[in-house]
Amino acid sequence: MFVSETIAGVSTAVGNSGISVIRMSGPNSFSIANKIFKGKKEVIDQDTHTLQYGKLIDPKSNEVVDEVLLTKMAAPRTYTREDVIEISSHGGYTIARNILNLLYQYGARPAEPGEFTKRAFLNGRIDLSQAEAVMDVIQARTDRVSKVALKQLEGTLSHKINDLRESLITLLSSIEVNLDYPEYDAEEVTLKAARDAVSPVLMEIDSLISSFHYGKILREGMEVVIAGRPNVGKSSLMNRLTRKDRSIVTDIPGTTRDIIEEYVNIKGIPVKMIDTAGVRETFDEVEKLGVSRSIKALKTADLVLVLADACEGLNHEDTDIIQRIRTEKHPYLLLLNKVDLITDDGRLMKLKSDYPDALLISAVSDKGIEKVEESILKFATENRQDMDNQVLITNARHELQLIKAKEYLQSAKTAIESGLTLDMVSMDLKAALEELGRITGHHADEDVINAIFARFCLGK
């Protein structure tokens, strides 16, 4: 990080809009702004964390570039902990480009993707896990996802990881004192005491790792495929779940020839719903392509909704589809559709008896759709409905470091139970401590840091 450089970038989306916000951060922010801004006060004399109206003027041509509002924020009480200027201009690509060119001309350079947040991390305002949560907040598709991301940005995961690290540091410190200074009257660390200290840390790490199933779904979304033979109501179910007439519905089998995708919010879970062509043997070349794509979609699905006709019950085509899904080892829900056409209570009771794990629904009348959505939520949370109140792992990088830390702690526990010396145990404890530190950035490699911030948008 070149701390002597001042960076600038557009923080709002590029394009026509009401306003554009141009952000500048670095030691020369105030002096650069002072050269081009004309208001009631010089920028140098303006109080920190105040806003004033004025005009941006090109000193060389004396032309007005735009009327703006300029906000001055002095370090360290800023997003980057550096001097920051934010310029609110009229929206539009041309205006933003002209302002940026003016800033570049008088000493700033273009900000790299995520460089403002990177400086916030390197200057100690946030740790690495909080920095990653910034993009999760920006990209959140539902309120539930946004809530989890905001918690991580506030430091809930960081506090948990730091508590675990503190426990290991305390244990390691005691072990080091015993090993290096045996002549001092320090409390001796026994193997039993070491095991008692490691066990709760292992339990906490296990709990965090198990939360990744739900956290990953929240962060990346969940892929749900609607599968079944032709004319069982897949497109009607798709339209019902997405609240849109997204799929064409007819009584003609094989109407859907290709997969249709639509993102939908199901009880706070971002879900990519996929309506597939009916899976069956066919001589129609176009339909064959649709069936092939349907089978391919089954292989990548997080959850499959297998739809069958309640009036007919399961036939060999239905059982073939279920067997294919079982072979791929994908979780699925069996839905028996068109129960609105069954008026005989006895037949309904027999259906429930014959297929106790199936959900009886009607995609036309909305019967049972709420239960389908609840079942999708249960799958996402693995039947733990209070997951939102826990510290969640939503990032694959964090899960990987936790798994590595767990392996080292298990090795340390095995060494303790085998009666090995404490110096051997401390090696595994130090390795586990380092892996935990990679999550928050205490031990992060430069390449990892650069890769993380390269995924950020410009201006953030």
Half-sphere exposure of residue 137: CA atoms within 13 angstroms, side-chain side? 14
Cα distance between residue 394 and residue 413, in whole Å: 27
Q: Per-residue pLDDT tens for 331-370?
A: 889 999 988 888 887 888 888 888 888 899 998 888 899 9
pLDDT of residue 355: 85
- The CATH number of the domain holding residue 369 is 3.40.50.300
Same domain? For 104 and 137 the reply is no
Number of domains observed in the structure of the chain = 3
Task: Please indicate, yes or no, whether the overall pTM of this predicted structure exceeds 0.85.
Answer: no
Same domain? For 190 and 262 the reply is no
Q: Does residue 321 form part of some domain?
A: yes
Q: Per-residue pLDDT tens for 185-194?
A: 445 567 788 8
pLDDT of residue 459: 74
Same domain? For 282 and 346 the reply is yes
Same domain? For 99 and 60 the reply is yes
Same domain? For 284 and 351 the reply is yes
- The CATH number of the domain holding residue 27 is 3.30.1360.120
Cα distance between residue 256 and residue 58, in whole Å: 60
Cα distance between residue 403 and residue 409, in whole Å: 10
Cα distance between residue 269 and residue 141, in whole Å: 9
- The CATH number of the domain holding residue 175 is 1.20.120.430
pLDDT one digit per residue (tens) for the chain, 460 residues: 456 899 999 998 877 888 999 999 999 999 999 999 999 999 999 999 999 999 999 999 999 999 999 999 999 999 999 999 999 999 888 999 999 999 999 999 999 988 999 999 999 999 999 988 888 888 888 888 888 888 888 899 999 999 999 999 988 888 877 665 555 544 556 778 888 889 999 999 999 999 898 888 888 888 888 888 887 888 888 888 887 654 444 444 444 434 678 888 888 888 888 887 644 444 444 444 544 555 565 677 888 898 888 888 888 888 888 887 888 778 889 999 988 888 887 888 888 888 888 899 998 888 899 999 999 888 888 766 566 668 889 899 999 999 999 999 999 999 988 888 888 888 999 999 999 999 998 877 787 788 878 777 777 7
pLDDT of residue 293: 55
**85 contacts: CB under 8 Å, gap ≥ 6:** 23, 24, 25, 29, 30, 32, 33, 43, 70, 71, 72, 73
Same domain? For 410 and 364 the reply is no
Same domain? For 148 and 13 the reply is no
Q: What is the span of the domain harbouring residue 227?
A: 218-387
Sign of CA dihedral 99, 101, 106, 107: positive
Q: Does residue 121 form part of some domain?
A: no
pLDDT of residue 246: 47
Q: Does residue 126 form part of some domain?
A: no
Same domain? For 237 and 200 the reply is no
Same domain? For 342 and 234 the reply is yes
pLDDT of residue 56: 95
Same domain? For 31 and 178 the reply is no
C-alpha dihedral (372, 374, 378, 383), degrees to nearest 10: -130
Question: Which 8-state DSSP code applies to residue 339?
Answer: G
pLDDT of residue 286: 41
pLDDT of residue 220: 83
Same domain? For 409 and 343 the reply is no
Please say which residue of 111, 141, 159 terminates a domain.
111
